Structure formats: structure tokens, C-alpha cells
């Protein structure tokens, strides 16, 4: 996967919760940290508007990023993001350094396709439910998929798609499935609408008439 995102960062010298609050309030910057690899953790500051603009792109969450700290370029992935509980503004960002020769774990978004055309929705009148919106995978940085595609076309009411039903790209493995069959999580399903499907309602409506005919023959 090619690098598409770069962020400019500065080393953060003033540490602590009070310093972080001042940074967010006065300088319109976001405190961050980059860690991992063969280097010590390094506290950083990022320009808020640049970070929030990058976060608008879904691909930012599953790409190898370039963090420019002065003249040094560091390759990393976004590992964690803390947001304000009410305003949703970014409070802190964590970045994990990556080595192109070492596998890493990260969450990749799921793209559900053919939901409206699926048998369970179009023919049976069901409703799609998403149990998960991303998948944790392990792979080399070059093999990180931008997203995982899940096709709902042939799914019927009552059927469930599990992790084991998803075809992952070559070189990419599910972290959960590596732990055993007990971790084969449900990803999505199609359920009947409240009150039952049209087919079920039709069967219920016909039942009394059939019973009445049977009574008249006795």
C-alpha cells in the first residue's frame, strides 16, 4: 500500500495534563505520541486542522503514515484516537512506528456491498444488521488492505456472516480467528422486520381459512 498521508509534527517539551489542555486551548494543536520500534516514545504536537482534515478520509485509519518530526520522517500507523465525549473534537492521538519487515496489527474498516439487492432484503423484506464495522488483522505494512469487502447479495433472512466467511487478501490474517473457532465473530446478518416478513404474514392470514374448510368437512 502506497503512502498517501503526511503530518507535520513538533516535539512536545511541556508535558502533563495541564500542558495538554493549554496546548489544545491556546495553540489549537493536538497532543500526540509516537512509540514502538527501536526508539523511545516521543511526545508530539500536531496542527489540529491538518489532523482533523486527514481524519475525514477513511483510508487514513488503515494506511502507513509519514510523521515529519523536524527533518526526520517516521513511518507509523494511527493506533488510538481520543475524542471529547461531547464535542467529538480530537483530544489526543497515538501513533505506532512500523518496520516494513515486521507484521503489525490494526483495525481495517468493512465495506458492505449489495445490501439493498440482497435476497433477504429485496425478496424477503428483511433488514440488514451490522454486528461489526471493522476487522482486526495482522500483516506486513505493505499488505495492509484499505478495507475488507463483504458481499451481502445471497444472504437470506436468518443467515449470519461470520469472520470465517470473509475472504481476506493474501498475506492478511484475522487476529480473532488465530485464537480459535470460539472467536469466529458474527459480522452481519439479515433479520425479519418487526411483525415478521411478508411471506410469514401471508401464511398466517391463510391458516384460519384452511382450518375453517377442514371444520366444514367434518
140: which 3 cell numbers? Answer: 506486513
Contact between 135 and 174 (Cβ < 8 Å): yes
Interatomic CA distance for residues 7 and 66, integer angstroms: 6
Model confidence at 26, in pLDDT bands (50, 70, 90)?
low
Give the model's pLDDT for residue 199. Answer: 46
Q: Name the nearest CA neighbour of 47 among 64, 63, 31, 59.
A: 31
CA separation, residue 4 to residues 47, 52, 146, 186, 190 (Å): 18, 15, 12, 32, 36
65: which 3 cell numbers? Answer: 503514515
Interatomic CA distance for residues 164 and 42, integer angstroms: 38
Identify the three-state secondary structure at position 183. Answer: helix
Contact between 80 and 95 (Cβ < 8 Å): no
pLDDT tens-place string over residues 69-126: 988 999 999 999 998 888 878 889 999 999 999 999 999 999 999 999 999 999 999 9
Give the model's pLDDT for residue 196. Answer: 59
Give the model's pLDDT for residue 20. Answer: 52
Which stretches within 97-192 are classed as H helix?
A: none
Q: Is 60 exceeded by the pLDDT of residue 19?
A: no
Q: Is 80 exceeded by the pLDDT of residue 205?
A: no
pLDDT tens-place string over residues 146-198: 999 999 999 999 999 999 999 999 999 999 999 999 999 999 999 999 875 44
Domains of the chain with bracketed CATH:
6-98 (2.40.240.10), 105-199 (2.170.120.20)
pLDDT tens-place string over residues 123-134: 999 999 999 999
Q: Is 80 exceeded by the pLDDT of residue 60?
A: yes
Beta bridge partners of 74: 67
CA 191 to chain centre: 22
Amino acid at each position: 500500500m502506497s503512502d498517501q498521508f503526511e503530518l507535520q509534527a513538533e516535539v512536545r517539551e511541556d508535558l502533563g495534563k495541564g500542558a495538554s489542555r493549554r496546548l489544545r486551548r491556546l495553540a489549537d494543536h493536538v497532543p500526540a505520541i509516537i512509540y514502538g520500534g527501536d526508539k523511545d516514545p516521543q511526545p508530539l504536537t500536531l496542527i489540529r486542522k491538518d489532523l482533523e482534515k486527514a481524519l475525514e478520509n477513511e483510508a487514513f485509519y488503515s494506511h502507513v503514515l509519514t510523521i515529519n518530526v523536524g527533518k526526520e520522517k517516521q513511518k507509523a500507523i494511527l493506533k488510538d484516537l481520543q475524542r471529547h465525549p461531547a464535542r467529538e473534537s480530537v483530544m489526543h492521538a497515538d501513533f505506532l512506528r512500523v518496520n516494513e519487515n515486521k507484521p503489525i496489527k490494526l483495525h481495517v474498516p468493512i465495506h458492505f456491498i449489495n445490501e439493498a439487492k440482497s435476497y433477504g432484503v429485496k425478496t424477503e423484506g428483511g433488514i440488514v444488521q451490522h454486528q461489526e464495522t471493522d476487522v482486526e488483522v495482522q500483516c506486513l505494512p505493505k499488505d495492509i488492505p484499505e478495507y475488507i469487502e463483504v458481499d451481502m447479495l445471497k444472504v437470506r433472512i436468518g443467515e449470519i456472516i461470520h469472520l470465517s466467511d470473509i475472504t481476506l487478501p493474501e498475506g492478511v490474517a484475522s487476529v480473532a480467528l488465530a485464537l480459535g473457532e470460539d472467536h469466529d465473530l458474527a459480522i452481519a446478518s439479515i433479520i425479519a422486520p418487526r411483525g415478521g416478513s411478508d411471506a410469514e404474514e401471508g401464511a398466517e392470514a391463510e391458516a384460519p381459512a384452511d382450518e375453517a374448510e377442514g371444520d366444514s368437512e367434518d
